[in-house]
A and B are shown apart, each in its own frame.
Chain A
């Protein structure tokens, strides 16, 4: 495996593809080419890993729902009904 980007022009296209919500596991010529490229290119593999990790971090960081949320929604609905 190369320690750098295997082919700059190809790498830019691969990174745009993997970063732009495109499936890389489809059975199409372009996806096969991308998978083959990823096997050979450390730079693109590291980039893909960092994008996936960015997404995972935002997925696991969940807020605590305030205990009084339901009461506040009910208050807003009561206010709306009284304004009718």
Chain B
């Protein structure tokens, strides 16, 4: 590839092109650049360090095997997230990652008979000052109760700040289906945190 062609590529696209052409140094640089992002996402979904490390390993093995299929039509990070999400969903089927999850059905909708439970205000103040080990445990346990399909949508959209369209594309969902899962996940997690977060009268 000539120098003028290199000038048209962003640094990640250039690494991908070199890695696709068999340059192992470029592939290693790609791993270094994205491994922390992948770990962070995997941990936020699995809530288990060992499973998160396994997911990172499986993800980069898949990237190594399938990089030739990446056509550049979507962002590399979106493609990467789709591999991580699929790995998390597959691990869920193979293992006991979801042994404590609860069925999320129509009960997890906003209903007029539940409105009274939403009135109480939550503790005001910045959230980073609230992160005690007790609250961290609560956050871990609450999200572990969510079925994986809901967890992945919540983490991608709300924690990783991906657009709704990207989340729907990565997971092969319609926009209404993505929004429905997100609404139920948010409501479920909010209700799990409610007893701890209610402001004292």
Contact = CB atoms under 8 A, between A and B. Distances in A.
Question: Are both chains from one complex?
Answer: yes
Interface of A: 4-5, 8-9, 11-12, 15-16, 19-22, 42-43, 46-47, 49-51, 53-63, 65-66, 69-70, 72-77, 80
Interface residues of B, number: 55
Contacts of A59: 158-159
Nearest to B53: A72
12 contacts: A8-B115, A20-B179, A21-B182, A46-B122, A54-B189, A59-B158, A60-B131, A61-B139, A70-B35, A75-B57, A76-B57, A80-B64
B180 A20 contact: yes
B7 interface: no
- How would you classify the secondary structure of chain B's contact residues: helix, strand, loop or mixed? helix
Given A43-B115, A46-B119, A53-B127, A73 B60 contact: yes
B49 interface: yes
Most buried by A among B56, B65, B111, B131: B56
B90 interface: no
B139 A11 contact: no
Contact of B115 (A5, A19, A20, A54): A5
A46 to B, nearest CB: 5
Nearest to A83: B61
Contact of A19 (B127, B178, B186, B197): B186
A72 B139 CA distance: 27
A50 B194 contact: yes
A55 to B, nearest CB: 5
Given A47-B118, A65-B39, A76-B61, A20 B183 contact: yes
A12 B111 contact: yes
A69 B179 contact: no
A80 to B, nearest CB: 5
B173 interface: no
Most buried by A among B111, B121, B180: B121
Given A77-B60, A77-B61, A61 B136 contact: yes
A21 B32 CA distance: 33
